[in-house]
Amino acid sequence: MFAQIEELIAEKRAAGIDLISLGIGDPETPTPSLVADVLCEHARNPSTHRYPSNKGRPSFREAVASFYATRFGVSLDPDTEIIPALGGKEAIANLNLAFLDPGDIALASDPGYPVYTSGPILAGADPFYLPLTPENDFLPDLDAIPAETLSRARMLYLNYPNNPTGAVVEGDFFARVVEFAKANDLVVIHDNAYSELTYDGYVAPSFLETPGAKDVGLEVFSLSKAYNMTGWRIAAVVGNAELARIYWQLKTNIDSGMFEAVQEAGAAALLSDQSSVAQMRETYRRRRDTLVPALQAIGLHVEPPKGTIYVWAPVPEGETSASFTEKMIDQAAVVMSPGTGFGPSGEGFVRMSLTLEDERLDEAAERIAALVGR
């Protein structure tokens, strides 16, 4: 399907058609200058030019601990409960290698970030899809998992605010997850990539805020989206000390750590006044409120997401994810991501990213809305 869509995009561009892509969640806004300035300062320091420690520079681990204490009210030991990661994707892939053996099962959101399912396969284990449906507010139905599957399950992946659906956690869901994990001897991995990008007064929690969460799991906190640092590849795995130690033990056999100048820049981002994050929240809210009405104008039943940088929209009746994606490319010159790229339960949906300059997003919205008259 993706190959066919790529061919269609290539044909349109070869014909000189101006396509607008809403397909990739990669912020176009530069990293805050204060972060780049700290990188430059420390990159000139010869002490950062040597092999770093896999456990990370103390200043970075302490900055993560300070951020978690201030933002989430979560106490973390910088020496035992925080390990730097070369981006959230690397962390999640390696966590599979650290905790799964052949024959094990990882419970993974469907739709979800593809590494939740490709990672277990690379470890010789099996992913088990947990459907996220509108009827259940895009939360997994833990009670519907077969007993035979649970007997082999070792890990549970969660991600809220959720990519690609934009769903958020409210109520006691995380508390139920902790109880479920303890009852079934599961390691919970919460991918916390979008907690800082929320709207309409919603403030996302950390999984580790939940009583007992640190007993059963780890959280992957990425700096990529909140600080426009996707290319910097910087994240942290935080939580249960023994699980963090196992993850670190694996990493010592795979990589040689993160460039320490990048760690210092990451620390600067975490310890900043967060005004740049507030500005990005407002930017994405404004873009969301431009795109959603355009989608509603062509009859799509879209709810404005409370979190992430994506809009998850059901396709019109009679369309599939692939056919609607192709139609939008062909008739509106707008590229979207078909929902099935994120798992079987993504069929019937498309994902659109808000990481586009305002002028281009406005134009994309106008092109989409214009379809109503066709």
What SS3 state is found at 355? coil
Domains and CATH numbers, the chain: 2-31+275-373 (3.90.1150.10), 33-271 (3.40.640.10)
The two tokens of residue 244 are 């963090």
Taking alpha carbons only, the member of 14, 7, 41, 22 closest to residue 362 is 22
Taking alpha carbons only, the member of 129, 197, 121, 133 closest to residue 161 is 197
Per-residue pLDDT, 2: 62
pLDDT one digit per residue (tens) for the chain, 374 residues:
566 777 888 888 898 999 998 988 889 999 999 999 999 999 999 999 999 988 999 999 999 999 999 999 999 999 999 999 999 999 999 999 999 999 999 999 999 999 999 999 999 999 999 999 999 999 999 999 999 999 999 999 999 999 999 999 999 999 999 999 999 999 999 999 999 999 999 999 999 999 999 999 999 999 999 999 999 999 999 999 999 999 999 999 999 999 999 999 999 999 999 999 999 999 999 999 999 999 998 888 899 999 999 999 999 999 999 999 989 998 999 999 999 999 999 999 999 999 999 999 999 999 988 886 55
Q: For 49, which DSSP code?
A: S
Per-residue pLDDT, 298: 87
Per-residue pLDDT, 25: 86
Q: For 359, which DSSP code?
A: H
